[in-house]
Structure 1
Amino acid sequence: MARALYGAPENPDFIVGLDQLLNQLKFDLLNGTKPFLNLIGFGGSGKTTLAKNLCWDPQVLDKFKENIFFATFSKTPHMKIIVEKLFEHFGQPKPEFQGNEDPVYKMRNLLEQKAGESPVILVLDDVYRGSEDLVKKFNIPISNLKILATSRAKLNLESCITHRLEKLPHEDSMTLFRHYAELNDTCPQNDLANQIVKCCGGLPLILKIIGSRLHGEEAFESWQIMERGLSQHGGSIVDSDDEVLATLRKSFDVLDDKPMLKKCFMDLGLFPEDQMIPVSALFDIWTELHNLPEECYAVPYIDDLTLRNLSTLVVTRKVASEKDDYYYNNHFLKQHDILRDLAIHLSNEKPLEQRENLIIDINENNHPELWSEPKKQGISARLVSISSGEAFNSKWWSMKPDGAEVLVLNIGSNDYALPDFIKYMRELKVLVLINYSFHPSQIHSFELLGSLPNLKRIRLQRVSVPSLCKLKKLQKLSLYMCTIGPAFESCPMDISDALQGLVELNIDYCKDLVKLPADICKIGPLKKLSITNCHKFSELPKEIGNLENLEVLRLSSCSDLKQVPDSIKRLQKLGLVDISYCTSLKQLPEDFGDVCNLKTLYMKGCSRCELPDSVKNLQHLKVVICDEETAASWETFRPQLPNLTIKQPNAEINLNWLERL
């Protein structure tokens, strides 16, 4: 076995918590038909350790014997050097290359020869996204050849099985830490060790670094200093340990050629740890902050952050298989706590007055020093995030972030007054206010928003929305898990006057909504109206036909909705309608076929809804998404609708996320 593992001769000395994933990888390696395996996880998660352990597994060794080649790719792989090592590993003379393509040609000949004789596995460690073409050069159409690539981001490879390495649970983290710190059950440092491990975020490399640093340290005071150092930084090991920071920076440095994606990664730090980040809120921020023409231009950044393993996408409810007009109200991002700490650390590297992202945490009425007295220099941040706990008493200091374009308020109290300095934020374009406590928060001083000339987007989550004030420039209002009765019932003016420029209105999971005020139907610019998951909602105003610019109408999962007004036939620009899971809806309006520009109709879970004969006039209708029984009803009209496609996707509903919101 002297040359069985080129470049990685050592077998990992101690691993924990990887058995299940090891068995999955081993099964795919020994029994699977696909040539590529991709093991992904961000820096320090244990990818290399698991890959090495796989190579030393007795069953793997028994099949591949000495035909196991392990090479580190890194950020700038050199094909010639890798091929030279491959020849050396197999005991072949060092090749002479003629031109840039010759290394690939000679390598493929060698692999064809060796894999033709017995099974071969190539382990390509630490492959950076963008190196897929180079990885593909190692693949030859021989069943005896397997390739395992480890990477921080998911690789774009055909015929590939992807496995994701998650963080270690606390019990396994303790076991690993105690091993490197050489703690036994009777050591007095065990309680401190428990606190230290919580700050390591389940990352094996960080547990090893900190555990090894405390190895042999018998002085109780040294352990206290380590624990205190982490606690003083809010539990952020990134701020307290240079070696850990250097390790994590590698996950960020891969974005050097994508400055916009770097900013998007750092923006995830605007939201509290261990909380779901609404993708639609990120769309609001990025669309306005980066001058994107439409929200759809923000989608690639979500995909890229997920593919690069810098965040995890959670879809809470999926009704259709394809993206619905870039509707992402059911999409959230989750980020590892340590990656969030890294985003905040990077945001805080510049002096306070020069930071683009100003992130402030307030707990138990402790406020940052910068608020206690006026500053000589202003604050130039474009994004401001303020997180306040339940004990915060809404007393605000003298900070005036006059140039901020985005304000994110993360709150945890039953009563909350908007900060007085909002009235000075003349450049503010986006306000995101999220309450993370169980009960809706009562919001005060909402009228301050009426003085802001550039405020275009507001997203409120789990709050009792107060009486609306005049918001002339507001284009998008999103109300999520809110109590909205006071806003609609106590408004001192017509809602159409308060929201005269509104283009998009989203109302989701608002349980007290019974009917939509008729005044909303006077808002001329309104193009998108979404009322979803509002189970008491039973009535659309008959004036809905006055919304002559309406293009999208979503009413999904409104189980008490019994009818759609006949006036919908006047909506000549309406291109998408979603009535999925409106289980009380017995029929569509008789003249529904007059919605002449309708292109997409979602009817999943509407098996009791009868179709009027007029639907045969929907000549522009391209797609109907529905269940089997409704599909049979639409088949009757297929001769009159030759361009119609009927889809029957399986719904995927996951309600576990509600516990984390």
Structure 2
Amino acid sequence: MKENFVIQNHSAGVPKAWCALPELPEFLVGLDEALSGLKMKLLKDGVSRLVLSAPGGCGKTTLATKFCQDKQVKDKFKEKIFFITISKRPNLDLVVQELRQSSMGSKVPTFESEVIAVRWLQEFLKETGENPLLLVLDDVWPGSESLLQKFDELKMANYKILVTSRYEFPGFGSPHILKPLNYVDAMALFHDSASLGDKSSHVPKDLPRKIVECCKGFPLAITVVGRSLCEKPTEFWLKRVRALSKGASVLDSSTDLLICLQSSLHALDEEDTILKDCFLDLGSFPEGKRIPASALIDIWAELYELNEDFLSISNLQELATRSLVDLIVTRKERMEVDGYYSEHFVAQHDLLRQLAIYETKLDPNKRRLIIDKWGDNLPKCLTKQRHQPIKTRLLSISSDGVFSTTLSNIQLSEVEVLVLNFSTDIYALPEFVAKMENLKVLIVTNHGSLPAKLSNFQLLDSLPNLKRIRLERISIPSIAKKPVNVKSLKKISLFMCRIGQVFSNSSFQISYAFPNLEELNIDYCSDLVELPVDLCDLMELRKLSITHCHNLSALPDEIGKLINLEVLRLKSCTDLKTFPASIKDLEKLTFLTYLIVSALRSCLTTLVK
């Protein structure tokens, strides 16, 4: 081990990943009256449900969060406040699974069926008994009536539901309407967002007034526009006023809010084109789902040569500063010097995602292609160019697992990043993947409640430039039956995957499948008991990260053979009690993170000595 070897201890900590309240903005204005009215209605005896309704970007989620953090509400419901985002495609299994995770912790199995999920929900509410419970269902879309009805049917005494939505759901009773900010409050929010103080005296006073009037009282627009104008010269303000005053949005929805958001996004063109590209890439992920920062790190490293992970995180922080995204850290520990970002996620308002997708469609070079279709239909941009190469660098497909048979005839050889999103139990990599000779990054995410069985993994053999793979909620038993040999692969990340069966199968050789692997990340894979023995033959491996794999009981005895290993991260692997003696042979190891376990600590101390 190197002389400057660093050891870092971490306790397990409590994640805020499930049913956690969103963080409130640092500056809030204009919600006191709305909060009082909301409390008066929902806390009233005999009222069990209420819809908080307003247009997008008006502050519904912020008001619901403020309601949950109100002292009177917290005193009443105590620890029984659950906050769940629903979005466009409601899934009862996933909603109940989030409740289960929040109430029981991270080591819980997934539901095998919706019937079992409902049964657990019934038992959970019965156990709650006389204790008041508040359930917030945020960002609920039309078509979710059956989901709302299911929760309403199971209501118990002291059980209340708050729904936030752009829609009023008449069958759910009289809604509570949130109005846009009045002029005084809107101006106060804009002054804070744009940091207007003594140093901004150069800005003519009529410009903030004109901009605030164009924002129509929408907090999201006011904040985004204000942040984009902070410390800008007067000429920049004049240009923005001119853009906002045109009075007609080019967006399909033709709303005043989207005019404001679009003007702020266009400002990025003049300041940082890569930052704008990063924002547009966020549209590749489904609405209402948290985006793993680690997935974005992989994408941006290959598309924009952001080869250090912190550069991508810096871009996310800049987007967050401009209120274009929310950057969430689910386990807030002191910053690790080895750059661990698996607990970092990005959340984005659906209107901002809509803007990213629209701007993507306007790109004449078609650098991104986002297919958000379910079924066997293809967008016209593909069918029209079936016999011509598609110049797209990033292709994102959200589907139900059914791919059009004609898609295999389309030339996709220029694609460098492929993002696949789905919610099915069984999923096969589409056949057209085999023709993506320039593919560098593959992101496969299952948004269902159970790990999906992934097949056709052998298609990756034909990809000479594939460098990074990230799988989430995936099971890959087929990889043992049909071995792959991806010599170009440098990094693989497995998040909440079912890998124990494959890793313990003697017919699977990771050193043959990925002989030049440099980084292996395994997070929340609960069935992992042991690592492949031949993992120690990965001579190029520099980073090995295993976190929250509670059943991992031992490391390979010959781990000392990993002569190039620099970072070994072992967090919350509670059954891991000892290190192999050969760990002292890791001459290049400079950083080790491990869970505080007395036996493990004493073992390591002895080995280091």
1:254 to 2:305 alignment: no
Q: What corresponds to 1:526 in structure 2?
A: 541
Residues 283-325 of structure 1: per-residue CA shift (max 9 Å, x gap): 000011112332222221011011111110111123x312442
Deviation at 1:268, TM superposition (A): 0.3
Structure 1 position 243, deviation (Å): 4.5
8 Å Cα contact 1:503-1:526 kept in structure 2: yes
Letter in 1 for 2:276: K
Question: Could you tell which deviates more after superposition, 296-305 or 280-289?
Answer: 296-305
For residues 403 and 325 of structure 1, the distance between their equivalents in structure 2, rounded to whole angstroms, comes to 34
Partner of 2:295: 281
Q: What is the match of residue 399 of structure 1?
A: 410
Q: CA deviation at 1:265?
A: 0.2
Q: Secondary structure at the match of 2:595?
A: coil
Deviation for aligned residue 1:381: 0.5
Is the contact made by 2:386 and 2:411 (CA closer than 8 Å) also made in structure 1?
no
Q: Report the equivalent of 1:580.
A: 595
Residues 375/393 of structure 1: CA separation in 2 closer, same or farther (3 Å cut) = closer
**Per-residue deviation, 1:517:** 1.3
Q: Distance in 2 between matches of 1:451 and 1:525?
A: 22
The range that moved more, 581-590 or 309-318, is: 581-590
What code does the residue aligned with 1:403 have? E
- Quick one: which of 362, 365, 370 aligns to 2:376? 365
Partners of 2:280 and 2:223 in 1: how far apart? 29
Amino acid at match of 1:367: L
Residue 494 of structure 1 aligns with an amino acid whose one-letter code is Q
Maintained 8 Å contact 2:529/2:551 = yes
Structure 1 segment 70-469 matched on structure 2, within 5 A? 79-80=201-202, 82=204, 127-129=226-228, 131-132=230-231, 238-241=251-254, 243-256=256-269, 257-318=271-332, 320-350=333-363, 354-370=365-381, 375-389=386-400, 392=402, 397=407, 398-465=409-476, 466-467=478-479, 468-469=483-484
Aligned to 1:499: 514
SS in 1 for 2:602: coil
The 3-state SS of whatever aligns with 2:461 is helix
**2:468 corresponds to which letter in structure 1?**
R
The answer as to whether partners of 1:71 and 1:82 remain within 8 angstroms in 2 is no
Contact persistence 2:403–2:430 (CA under 8 A):
no
Task: Say which of 582, 586, 597 aligns to 1:571.
Answer: 586
Aligned length: 411
**Which of 1 and 2 has higher RCO (CA within 8 Å, sep 6+)?**
2
Match of 1:542 in 2: 557
**Secondary structure, in 3 states, of the residue corresponding to 2:464?**
coil
Q: Check conservation: 2:528, 2:551, Cα contact below 8 A.
A: yes
Q: Would the aligned equivalents of 1:559 and 1:581 in 2 still touch at CA under 8 Å?
A: no
Q: Max radius of gyration: which structure? A: 1
Provide the alpha-carbon RMSD of the alignment. Answer: 4.0
Contact 2:390 2:411 in 1 (8 A): yes
Compute the displacement of 1:492 (Å).
Answer: 4.5
Q: Which deviations, in whole Å up to 9, do the C-alpha atoms of 1:65-105 show, x marking residues without a partner?
A: xxxx999999xx9845648999xxxxxxxxxxxxxxxxxxx
Where 2:531 maps in the other structure, the secondary structure is coil
Choose the corresponding residue for 1:52, options 177, 184, 200.
Answer: 184
For normalisation by structure 1, the TM-score amounts to 0.56
- Residues 383-441 of structure 1: CA deviation (Å, up to 9, x unaligned): 00000036x36756222311011000011111111111111111110000000001111
Q: Equivalents in 2 of 1:47, 1:386: separation in Å?
A: 36
Q: What secondary structure sits across from 1:317 in the alignment?
A: coil
Q: Deviations over 1:324-362 (max 9, x none)?
A: 4221001000000010000000001135xx310100012
Determine if contact 2:399/2:421 at 8 Å carries over to the other structure.
yes
On the 8 A contact 1:464/1:486 being kept in 2, the answer is no
Please, which runs of 5 or more residues in structure 2 have no aligned partner?
A: 1-29, 39-61, 67-177, 209-221, 235-239
When residues 295 and 272 of structure 1 are mapped into structure 2, their CA distance, relative to the original with a 3 A threshold, is same
> Could you tell me whether the CA contact under 8 Å between 2:502 and 2:508 is conserved in 1?
no
Shift of 1:246: 2.2
Identity among equivalent positions (%) equals: 41
**Contact 2:472–2:497 under 8 Å retained in 1:** yes
The one-letter code sitting in structure 2 at the alignment partner of 1:286 is W
Q: 1:415 to 1:372 in 2, by over 3 A?
A: farther
User: Does structure 1 retain, via aligned residues, the 8 Å contact 2:224–2:324?
Assistant: no
Mark the CA change 1:250 to 1:571 in structure 2 (over 3 Å): closer, same or farther: same
Q: Distance in 2 between matches of 1:557 and 1:444?
A: 30
Contact 2:297 2:312 in 1 (8 A): yes
Question: What is the CA–CA distance in structure 2 between the aligned matches of 1:511 and 1:523, rounded to whole Å?
Answer: 23
In structure 2, the residue corresponding to 1:460 is in which secondary structure?
A: strand
1:495 to partner: Cα distance: 1.8
Give the match's secondary structure for 2:442. Answer: strand
